[in-house]
Amino acid sequence: MTTTAAEQAAEGQRPEGIGGAARAYIDKLRGGDFGSLPAVLGLAALVILFGSLKGDRFLSSFNFANLLGQGAMIIVIAMGLIFVLLLGEIDLAAGVTAGMCAAVLGVTMTEHGWPMPLALGACILTGIVVGLAQGVLVANFGIPSFVVTLATFLAFQGVLLLIIGEGGTIGIRDDTILAIQNDNLPVWSGWILAAVIAGGYAGLTLMRRRSRITAGLATEAFTVWLAKTGFLVAVVAVVTFFLNEERSRRPEITSIKGIPWVLPLILVLFVGLTFLLTRTSFGRHVYAVGGNAEAARRAGISVARIKVICFVACSTLAAVAGILFASRDNSISPSTGGSTTLLLAVGAAVIGGTSLFGGKGRIIDAIIGGLVVAVIQNGLPLVTEQAGIQYAVTGGVLLIAASVDALSRRKSVTG
Partner 1 sequence: MSEPDASAVAAGTDTPLLELRGITKSFGAVEVLRGVDLKVRSGRVTALVGDNGAGKSTLIKGVAGIHNFDAGEYFFEGAPVEVHDPKTANALGIEVVYQDLALCNNLDVVHNMFLGREVTRGVTLNEDEMETRARKTLDGLAVRTLHSVRQPVASLSGGQRQTVAIARSVLWNSKLVILDEPTAALGVAQTEQVLRLVRQLADNGLGVILISHNLGDVMQVADDIAVLYLGQMAAQVDTKDVQRNQVVELITAGRSGDIGLSPAMAEVVL
Supply the minimum distance, in Å, between the C-beta of residue 300 and partner 1. Answer: 4
Q: Which of 31, 165, 203, 272: binder of partner 1 (CB under 8 A)?
A: 31
**Count of residues near partner 1 by CB under 8 A:** 29
> Is residue 412 close enough to count as binding partner 1 by CB under 8 A?
yes
Q: Which of 48, 226, 299, 407: binder of partner 1 (CB under 8 A)?
A: 299
x-or-dash string of contact with partner 1, 86-125, rule CB under 8 A:
----------------------------------------
Q: Which of 15, 20, 69, 359: binder of partner 1 (CB under 8 A)?
A: 359
Between residues 173 and 279, which has the closer beta carbon with respect to partner 1? Answer: 279
> Is residue 298 close enough to count as binding partner 1 by CB under 8 A?
yes
> Is residue 215 close enough to count as binding partner 1 by CB under 8 A?
yes
Stretch that binds partner 1, among 34-42, 177-185, 212-220, 372-380 (CB under 8 A): 212-220
Taking a C-beta distance cutoff of 8 angstroms, is the pair 200, 232 a contact? no
Give 79-128 as a DSSP string: HHHHHHHHTT---TTHHHHHHHHHHHHHHHHHTS---HHHHHHHHHHHHH
Q: How far is CA 97 from CA 31, 77, 300, in A?
A: 38, 10, 32
107 residue type, one letter: V
CA distance 78 to 82: 6
Q: Which of 280, 339, 384, 403: binder of partner 1 (CB under 8 A)?
A: 280
> Is residue 294 close enough to count as binding partner 1 by CB under 8 A?
yes
318 residue type, one letter: A
Site for partner 1 in 216-255 (CB under 8 A): 216-218
Which residue, 46, 2, 157, is CA-closest to 396?
46
Stretch that binds partner 1, among 59-67, 130-138, 259-267, 278-286 (CB under 8 A): 278-286
Taking a C-beta distance cutoff of 8 angstroms, is the pair 70, 340 a contact? no
Q: How far is CA 202 from CA 195, 208, 259, 363, in A?
A: 10, 10, 22, 20
Which residue, 113, 111, 85, is CA-closest to 289?
85
Between residues 48 and 295, which has the closer beta carbon with respect to partner 1? Answer: 295
CA angle 367, 371, 376 (to 5 degrees): 155
Supply the minimum distance, in Å, between the C-beta of residue 406 and partner 1. Answer: 16
Stretch that binds partner 1, among 58-66, 112-120, 221-229, 292-300 (CB under 8 A): 292-300
CA distance 27 to 308: 36
CA distance 50 to 46: 6
Stretch that binds partner 1, among 148-156, 245-253, 290-298, 331-339 (CB under 8 A): 290-298
Stretch that binds partner 1, among 110-118, 170-178, 260-268, 286-294 (CB under 8 A): 286-294
Between residues 253 and 413, which has the closer beta carbon with respect to partner 1? Answer: 413
Q: What residues have CB less than 8 Å from 352, skipping those under 6 apart? A: 36, 39, 78, 362, 364, 365, 366, 367, 368, 369, 370, 372
Q: Which residues bind partner 1 (CB under 8 A)?
A: 31, 211-212, 215-218, 279-281, 284-285, 287-288, 290-292, 294-296, 298-301, 359-360, 412-413, 415
